Structure 1
Amino acid sequence: MADLAVDFLLQNLQRLQIYHPDLIRDAENHLEMLENNLRLFKAFLKDSTKKLRKYESVRELARQIRDVVFEAEDTIDAFVSQAAESKTKNYFLRAFQAPAEKILAIAKDVESVGLKVRDIYGDRSTIDFAGVHINDDELEEGPLVRKHKNVVGVEDEAEKIIGYLREKTDELDIISIIGMPGLGKTTLAAKVFRDPAIEYEFRTRIWVSVSADFEPKNVFLDILREFTNLTEDMYRKSNEELARLIAFYLGSRGHFLIVMDDVWTPDDWDKIQIALPKSNNMGKVLITSRNYEVARASNRNRVPHKLRFLKPDESWLLLLFEVFGKPECPPELEGLTKVISGQCDGLPLAIVVVGGILVRKILASDGITAMKDKWRKVSRSLSMYLNEDPVGRMEKVISLNYDGMPYHLRMCLLYLRMFPEDFEIPVWKLIRMWMAEGFVQQKAGLGLEEVAESYLEDLISRNMVIADKRNVNGRVKTCRSHDMILDFCKYEAGKQGENFLQEMKKLIDGGFEPPISELQRYRRLCIHSNVLNFISSKPFGPRVRSFVCFSRDEIIMPIENISDIPTAFKLVRVLDVNPIKFNRIPSELYHLVHLRYVALSFINVAILPAAFSKLWNLETLIFFTTSRTLEVKADIWEMIHLRHLKTNASATLHKKGKSNEGGENLQTLGTISPESCTEEVFDRACNLKKLSIRGQLALILDGQEGSFHSFHKLDQLEKLKLLNDIFSGPPSKGKLSVLPPPNKFPPRLRSLTLSDTFLDWSQMSILGLLENLEILKLRHKSFMGKYWETADGGFRRLETLHIERVNLVSWVASSHHFPRLRHLHLRNCDELRELPPGLADIPSLHLLELHLTKFAVASAKIIYVAKQKQQEEQAAKVSGFKLSIFPPDD
């Protein structure tokens, strides 16, 4: 952690000197001394690789560096925060006459540690630094290896579970999968859940993650989300009322399957099972648990399915898939790979994690001889753990993988503990938090977001993070990590006095763990339940740099507590409390000048005040409000570090900045009003990659306030949303008659979403000519008309087509109209009579989803049968085809 802290402090000092020299006037010489020592620390920490950790003097000095850098960072940040606040109150000069003295005191503390570093560098007789380089094989980095995950050794187990699920019973049937952590319970349940036969038989399928700290209400709300949109009234209902509502829905659904993943105790099961309709003999519940008593409590009439360990040949096969991506092994490595797989004792998670280690050794080796030497070192390390119990051995294997990571990757992994267990983490959110924390390092030719994505792919390739969902071009959308890896992260984040992060939990006696009085120790805090109790206790975390809340409940912040969060965490860099709804913006928020990432939600707030411009470090601003419009009085062009501005309202931008500069760092802008789509805005925000527009789109197309001809200047734009506002006037006024010609659209446009545009289907031919379009989402009434005949020669690269809430009756198309189509989603197209039969002949099509599109179900089934026949005839060439229909067509 220390080396990243040094890097971040250096960056902060440079940013301070460039953009706010008035806050540190007359301190140039002291800053130079401080920066010189920080660069010395950086060099020393790069030299202090795992090879040198055997020297206690090195370890102790690394701890001292960490502590003095944290202390320097805290002191400087606190001083800057106070100075900025005082400056806004017009008594800056009177209150802060001597910033140089403060920086001198810090520089002297840092210098005292710097002398110790120089002493070590001078004493080569005690410590040998020879041959140690930043790219040492103990900290491997390199090109990423993308692998398709393979499930090995569970085929027979999956067949048994599928057989149980297809059995006929007299009442609700409950099946349990039991086994120790890391044995693959969730993997097996997921394989069964996604099996095409199960998908077809159980059209209502729900996956619920329970975990140790579950709240019954959250589980119930998760289930209800599958049936209906959640209302405020539902959040107010008791657990018993929610359970009755679920039982009603499930009782009327016929065949359904619910997976309850990771149920810990019989008491937990008792709290959940009240929502299940016991009389529905077409319903099935699949439980995974470490606890045999959970299985007994859930169904005494069925023997639990106890998951076995992998056999030696299965262990070896899984290792080959993880390392080489195929069930083949170079002859000279066969013996060694069998030894290593055997050392994992049939534990799938251990094999997967070890596979991630071996892959990195391949990337860091020059030739097979060097690679074998490194693999033998891994084997020797594993042999040291053979006497451990299986869980202890698994923990050691995870630690071995972790120790081989560069420091920035370690911090990125530990940060996952900021999210709740079993939380599907949005990648766009995660990587922007990493950036705000300073974990992401600049690389030539790449943007910070691209570097951060490469970090995530690196963690995935090491099998420390799981890619839950990817989009059509392979980029990860959501991710998570295994429970055992998260438990390891929790331990690692709190050891050695690092106090990297801490989750706040309420105790039975009403207090919190850790106690509120100890918050001054921690640098990152998260809380996901009992949030108002925590806030009302007046916490104070003077060192906290991240404070996040991902509660599943919507929380209305009482008026008397609105200022408590910004008052409690004055040095915060990351603030994400989106579940908390504020009735007004706390003025204390504008004093948080170190904020780099902020996500807030408001009720009926229609103005983004000018005072937001004071947050000069801000990189990501997420501002949600129940107001349909947002007047942005803040001068975003003066916020020169701002990269992402995201709101759900139609935002009207501040039109004039103090200069003609600013905006070149903006990558995400949305949603903004059509009136804000001016040539001046697009000239400034010339590097936009994502743009969302909401309002009267006719203003753009008619050229009254802005004009679509400016859009072609956005040559970096990849994602565009055009959301027409039909609420501010009669529907006839909001209708669009034509789309701009293809050459007026941004040239790199890859994803396009339209909503409420009321276009005629003939206009689809224009969209078909967008050369790079891969994703097209036609939302509510984007196109209107009974007949659509797809024109020839278009949609050459389209991979995903989403059509929702249109009045289309007849659709004529052939396979050559969508040569690369992979996903077709139809939602609420309740007048569509049938799907074009030619869709079955698109080789790439492997997902067809119909939601409330009942008349087209019969034609969808014909396509499914045709695809199944193709798969049987060309099994090696055609991937599995999935058909999803809701509601179930029993």
Structure 2
Amino acid sequence: MADSSVSFLLDKLSVLLQEEVNLQKGVREDVVYIKDELERHKALLMVADDALEHKDPELKVWVKRVRDIANDMEDAVDEYNFRLVDQHGKNNNKNSSFHKISFGIKTMKARHKIASNIQGIKSKVEAISHGRPNISEVRTSSSKRLSSKIDSQGDALLLEEADLVGIEQPKKQLNDMLFKDESGRAVISIYGMGGLGKTTLAKQVYDDPKVQKRFRIHAWVNLSQSSKLEELLKDLVQQLHNVIGKPAPEAVGQMKSEKLKEVIKNLLQRSRYLIVLDDVWHANIWDAVKLALPNNDRGSRVMLTTRKKDIALYSCAELGKDFHLEFLPEQEAWSLFCRKTFQGDNNSCPPHLEEVCKNILKLCGGLPLAIVAISGVLSTRGRTNIEDWQMVCRSFGSEIQGNDKLEDMKKVISLSFNELPYYLKSCLLYLSIFPEFHAIEPMRLIRLWIAEGFINGEDGKTLEEVADSYIKELLNRSLLQVVGKTSDGRMKTCRMHDLLREIVSLKSRDQNFATIAKDQDMVWPERVRRLSVINSSHNVLLQQNMTTLFQLRSLLMFALSDSLNSFSLHELGSNGLKWLRVLDLQDAPLEAFPVEIVNLYLLKYLSLKNTKVKNIPGSIKKLQYLETLNLKQTYVTELPAEIAELKRLRHLLVYRYEIESYAYFHSRHGFKVAAPIGNMLSLQKLCFIEVDQGSGALMVELGKLTQLRRLGIRKMRQKDGAALCSSIEKMINLRSLSITAIDEDEIIDIHDISKPPQYLQQLYLSGRLEKFPCWISSLKNLVRVFLKWSRLKEDPLVFLQDLPNLRHVEFLQVYVGETMHFNAKGFPSLKVLGLDDLEGLKSMIIEEGAMQGLKKLIIQQCGSFKNVPLGIEHLTKLKNIEFFDMPKELIMALRPNVGKDYWSVQNVPSIYSSYWRDGGWDVYSLETFGEQESDSNHSSAMRRSLEVPTLWKV
């Protein structure tokens, strides 16, 4: 957005005018003039939203010119900072007369060039000021909207069952089709217009515990218009291996389509399976995939969603049924509209707004997505001013009526976008940089937004906390959807709905906000400031013979198929990258640290995550503006001492973990550093630093990092416990703490913490504990506790049961006693409980009232545990029980109808038992346990219920 570009620039100009270095004669006056003029234009830009730009071509051209000028001026300011301010500040005697004279001589040429550039920009500003369009009749009729007070992560774009009125009947029909007594493979095709809720309906059916119980082998595959067959098949292979509990062979990455089909067919041949193909656009995709899905006469099903009726009819022609999802009838549409718009008013529309609301609802045409989107806009409006609501209706006008339903929906979503405050528009536009269906980690997005300069500082909050509030606001406005959640309810990944993404991407291209390079025949804009490269870097190199001007501030690469070892960043042009702020090479096929990176003076964000980079050069100290360095899942094990010179670094992430051996003590690798880490006072996240070398001094250094929110320590020694405790007491902002001993027999001595960090939410301890640290009992904000190898003689439940917010507890070799006792009213918020390898445990007592919210119970490798937990029937919210390598006596006692203790768990929807045999997991439902053997290749996920890949992340 042009107003965002100008706002960021005005902040920079304010700083520039306060610098100690004298500007070239006349330059200061020019900068003041430019700043004043842009301040005048800013108010106009705030109301020049997309709708107005499209109606007024003259205004659209003018806005583009303002945007270009803001970018040119930003370049000039960066040039000034680099050539003059920082060079001037490097000398300790910068105030001496000699230094001033010397500095003036050395920089004369640079200052002259900068003055010339600014003079040229001033001329352009004068031109746009004189040619400013007359839009005096355009005025905003309402003040800034109040932020939604509903702080939920509900996503209205991927509608919940409760939101999609009338879903009960179609869901029942689909369930009947899935459970129909037909042995052959059947295809169920759900078709209809985009936004009707096809994916929502399919997901509700797919996630039904009864469905997943019937189809233990299941997978959900997202498609798109540009889906590649090989990538689709690789995704399916990976999902199937995840669900059977075996890592996919490394060779899968190099397999061609025919071999992949063969692998899938072999995996599915002896199983009853359910495969969902979501959003199929081309019949040839179905033709190719169906060859990999065997008709094994076991009642397998394929569920397919598509917007095209011909694909739906074609795919289920042999054996199956098509299912057409209709638009919502008037009454059901009104019910949905009121529930989403008037959530704080008993879901009831005030009488004085009923007429205008029904007129607005007509514009949605019975499309659930459109209804929820417009409701998200209206829900934050005041209820008293009817003119405010009528303006929304008028803004659609006659041009909308008569258009097809997809255009109606696009206009509704566009209104949702245009209603955003300017600072959120840039944040939402930025999501168009990510590929389709890319699940985005919130912290990655937050760090990128900060590096881009999108986040405005607020008193009493870190930039990360402000950015997090932006994400919540987008969620509350139904412009983001939650894809995955952690066990403690936090959002793990998010994305935009595909239709919303399409609209936002159009806006991004129209405003030249970002350039997406994924097709060789794409049309490039005149200027490129943010560049997202998808599939191949070759697309970028081809542009060197074109007239496109690269003025990159951000470069992100996704799903590269060609090696970056042959790709030099310098090839983008000598000036194309010099002011780069963001460089994200996550998942790139990169084996060595690109040497050009250390010359990217303004770089704030650098990610080499999931690459094969092994070493970081000491010259990284040149990146004095760096705030995020992400080296997760690389082969970096040691950082140069110069890393401590990066005083602005906020997030230092260096570790690698082995998913398949999560219970192995040395499954995670951190990094060593011989540097005064305490000098990095801006650090908020430090994971995982190995402290076995120079540990005494290093523990003291850690105490200087008072801004830390997350700390991960590896190779801890008992003798350093006191020093670490002293340092932790100073970390008053700490939210997450992970400590791993140097080996599983080493004692973690962290008992002497008199002032524990009261905001701590996550605690991970791996190593011996002589006794349970009592201070943990005072952490009222704690939501996760994961303990490994503690070998406590005292029942750890005593110290944890009264914590009000504790939602997830995992124990691995934590307790050597025979009985665990869950007292009444204990663990009031617990949702997930995992007990692993408690060899001495013989019994479990659950009093009535304990763990009233527990949804998932996992018990594994407790060889002495042969009796059903006493009082398990009190856990009325329990949805899932999973046993791994547990005694046969326990499992037989729970068999339906025949087990003596089945009555105590008869209301639990899902109960399974698995055993490790011959290199694979054999999985049984309790109905068949003891009657038949299942193929170990078709078993459920190896400890997947413990969220193995994320269990010990910090």
Question: What is the TM-score of this pair, normalised by structure 1?
Answer: 0.83
**Aligned residue identity for 1:542:** F
Q: Give 3-state SS (helix, strand or coil) of 1:702's partner.
A: helix
Q: Give the Å deviation of 1:403.
A: 1.6
Q: Give 3-state SS (helix, strand or coil) of 1:387's partner.
A: coil
Q: Contact 2:588–2:611 (CA<8 Å) still a contact in 1?
A: no
Could you tell me how far apart the structure 2 residues matched to 1:351 and 1:251 are? Answer: 43
**Aligned residue identity for 1:41:** L
Residue 624 of structure 2 is matched in structure 1 by 616
**Aligned residue identity for 1:760:** L
The Cα offsets for residues 334-382 of structure 1, whole Å up to 9 and x where unpaired, read as: 343333323322111111111112113x2xx3xx331x22222222334
Aligned residue among 175, 195, 211 for 1:198: 211
Q: Give the Å deviation of 1:723.
A: 3.8
Unaligned runs of 5+ in 2: 92-101, 155-159, 657-668, 749-765, 915-922, 929-954
Aligned residue among 636, 648, 669 for 1:640: 648
Q: Do the aligned partners of residues 739 and 816 (structure 1) sit closer, same or farther apart at CA in structure 2, a change above 3 Å counting?
A: farther
Could you tell me how far apart the structure 1 residues matched to 2:791 and 2:641 are? Answer: 34
**Aligned residue identity for 2:42:** L
Q: Give 3-state SS (helix, strand or coil) of 2:458's partner.
A: coil
Q: Contact 1:605–1:625 (CA<8 Å) still a contact in 2?
A: no
Residue 240 of structure 1 is matched in structure 2 by 258
**Aligned residue identity for 2:516:** E
Q: Give the Å deviation of 1:624.
A: 3.0
Could you tell me how far apart the structure 1 residues matched to 2:584 and 2:17 are? Answer: 28
**Aligned residue identity for 1:736:** R
Q: Contact 2:810–2:835 (CA<8 Å) still a contact in 1?
A: yes
**Aligned residue identity for 2:229:** P
Could you tell me how far apart the structure 1 residues matched to 2:186 and 2:138 are? Answer: 66
Q: Do the aligned partners of residues 752 and 393 (structure 1) sit closer, same or farther apart at CA in structure 2, a change above 3 Å counting?
A: closer
Residue 530 of structure 2 is matched in structure 1 by 524
1:105 lines up with 2:116 in the alignment: yes
Q: Give the Å deviation of 1:422.
A: 1.6
Report how many aligned residue pairs link the two structures: 844
Residue 713 of structure 1 is matched in structure 2 by 730
Q: Do the aligned partners of residues 179 and 143 (structure 1) sit closer, same or farther apart at CA in structure 2, a change above 3 Å counting?
A: closer
Residue 267 of structure 1 is matched in structure 2 by 284
Aligned residue among 247, 251, 260 for 1:229: 247
Q: Give the Å deviation of 1:792.
A: 5.2
What CA RMSD, in Å, does the superposition of the two structures yield over aligned residues?
Answer: 4.2
The Cα offsets for residues 711-740 of structure 1, whole Å up to 9 and x where unpaired, read as: 232221112223445499999xx9524356
Residue 376 of structure 1 is matched in structure 2 by 390
288-297 or 112-121, larger mean C-alpha shift: 112-121
Could you tell me how far apart the structure 2 residues matched to 1:569 and 1:818 are? Answer: 59
Q: Contact 1:716–1:748 (CA<8 Å) still a contact in 2?
A: no
The Cα offsets for residues 163-220 of structure 1, whole Å up to 9 and x where unpaired, read as: 1011122321111001111111111111111223323322333211011111223222
Residue 452 of structure 1 is matched in structure 2 by 467
Residue 659 of structure 2 is matched in structure 1 by none
Equivalent positions of 1:323-362 (< 5 A) are: 323-325=341-343, 327-360=347-380, 362=381
**Aligned residue identity for 2:395:** S
Aligned residue among 386, 389, 398 for 2:401: 386
The Cα offsets for residues 790-820 of structure 1, whole Å up to 9 and x where unpaired, read as: 4759974653445375355545142578546
**Aligned residue identity for 2:856:** L
141-150 or 206-215, larger mean C-alpha shift: 141-150
Aligned residue among 503, 520, 530 for 1:488: 503
Equivalent positions of 1:62-73 (< 5 A) are: 62-73=63-74
Aligned residue among 383, 392, 402 for 2:417: 402
Q: Do the aligned partners of residues 622 and 100 (structure 1) sit closer, same or farther apart at CA in structure 2, a change above 3 Å counting?
A: same
Q: Contact 2:373–2:416 (CA<8 Å) still a contact in 1?
A: yes
Q: Give 3-state SS (helix, strand or coil) of 1:98's partner.
A: helix
Could you tell me how far apart the structure 1 residues matched to 2:227 and 2:9 are? Answer: 38
Could you tell me how far apart the structure 2 residues matched to 1:429 and 1:858 are? Answer: 47
Q: Contact 1:608–1:634 (CA<8 Å) still a contact in 2?
A: no
1:558 lines up with 2:565 in the alignment: yes
Question: What is the TM-score of this pair, normalised by structure 2?
Answer: 0.78
1:188 lines up with 2:201 in the alignment: yes
Q: Do the aligned partners of residues 735 and 286 (structure 1) sit closer, same or farther apart at CA in structure 2, a change above 3 Å counting?
A: same
Q: Give the Å deviation of 1:453.
A: 1.9
1:546 lines up with 2:554 in the alignment: yes
Q: Do the aligned partners of residues 536 and 610 (structure 1) sit closer, same or farther apart at CA in structure 2, a change above 3 Å counting?
A: farther
Q: Contact 2:788–2:813 (CA<8 Å) still a contact in 1?
A: yes
Q: Give 3-state SS (helix, strand or coil) of 1:558's partner.
A: helix
Q: Do the aligned partners of residues 853 and 794 (structure 1) sit closer, same or farther apart at CA in structure 2, a change above 3 Å counting?
A: farther
149-158 or 303-312, larger mean C-alpha shift: 149-158
Equivalent positions of 1:101-250 (< 5 A) are: 101-115=112-126, 128=136, 137=142, 140-146=145-151, 148=154, 149=160, 150-226=163-239, 227=241, 228-250=246-268
Could you tell me how far apart the structure 2 residues matched to 1:788 and 1:234 are? Answer: 46
Q: Give 3-state SS (helix, strand or coil) of 1:578's partner.
A: coil
Residue 652 of structure 1 is matched in structure 2 by 672
Q: Do the aligned partners of residues 130 and 266 (structure 1) sit closer, same or farther apart at CA in structure 2, a change above 3 Å counting?
A: closer
Could you tell me how far apart the structure 2 residues matched to 1:755 and 1:552 are? Answer: 39
Q: Give 3-state SS (helix, strand or coil) of 1:549's partner.
A: strand
Could you tell me how far apart the structure 1 residues matched to 2:391 and 2:691 are? Answer: 61
**Aligned residue identity for 1:613:** K
Q: Give 3-state SS (helix, strand or coil) of 2:504's partner.
A: helix
Q: Give the Å deviation of 1:93.
A: 9.3
Q: Give 3-state SS (helix, strand or coil) of 1:513's partner.
A: coil
Equivalent positions of 1:244-323 (< 5 A) are: 244-252=262-270, 254-300=271-317, 301-323=319-341
Q: Do the aligned partners of residues 752 and 303 (structure 1) sit closer, same or farther apart at CA in structure 2, a change above 3 Å counting?
A: closer
**Aligned residue identity for 2:303:** L
Q: Give the Å deviation of 1:710.
A: 2.6
Q: Contact 2:587–2:609 (CA<8 Å) still a contact in 1?
A: yes
Q: Give the Å deviation of 1:851.
A: 7.0
Unaligned runs of 5+ in 1: 507-511, 871-880
Could you tell me how far apart the structure 2 residues matched to 1:625 and 1:359 are? Answer: 43
Could you tell me how far apart the structure 1 residues matched to 2:418 and 2:65 are? Answer: 21
Could you tell me how far apart the structure 1 residues matched to 2:494 and 2:871 are? Answer: 35
Residue 836 of structure 1 is matched in structure 2 by 869
The Cα offsets for residues 5-55 of structure 1, whole Å up to 9 and x where unpaired, read as: 22323445667789xx79x76559735742563354245323444379587
Could you tell me how far apart the structure 2 residues matched to 1:474 and 1:179 are? Answer: 32
Q: Contact 1:563–1:587 (CA<8 Å) still a contact in 2?
A: no
Could you tell me how far apart the structure 1 residues matched to 2:848 and 2:521 are? Answer: 61
1:44 lines up with 2:55 in the alignment: no
Could you tell me how far apart the structure 2 residues matched to 1:42 and 1:137 are? Answer: 21
Could you tell me how far apart the structure 2 residues matched to 1:283 and 1:137 are? Answer: 56
Could you tell me how far apart the structure 2 residues matched to 1:793 and 1:39 are? Answer: 67
Could you tell me how far apart the structure 2 residues matched to 1:630 and 1:445 are? Answer: 35
The Cα offsets for residues 53-77 of structure 1, whole Å up to 9 and x where unpaired, read as: 5877765543332111111223444
The Cα offsets for residues 102-130 of structure 1, whole Å up to 9 and x where unpaired, read as: 33234334433554677699x9xx66499
Equivalent positions of 1:767-806 (< 5 A) are: 768=800, 771=803, 774-776=806-808, 778=810, 781=812, 783=814, 785=816, 787-790=818-821, 796=827, 799-801=830-832, 803=834, 806=837
Could you tell me how far apart the structure 2 residues matched to 1:859 and 1:821 are? Answer: 25
Q: Give the Å deviation of 1:595.
A: 1.6
Q: Give 3-state SS (helix, strand or coil) of 2:483's partner.
A: strand
Q: Contact 2:592–2:615 (CA<8 Å) still a contact in 1?
A: no
Could you tell me how far apart the structure 1 residues matched to 2:673 and 2:26 are? Answer: 41
Residue 463 of structure 1 is matched in structure 2 by 478
Q: Do the aligned partners of residues 160 and 225 (structure 1) sit closer, same or farther apart at CA in structure 2, a change above 3 Å counting?
A: same
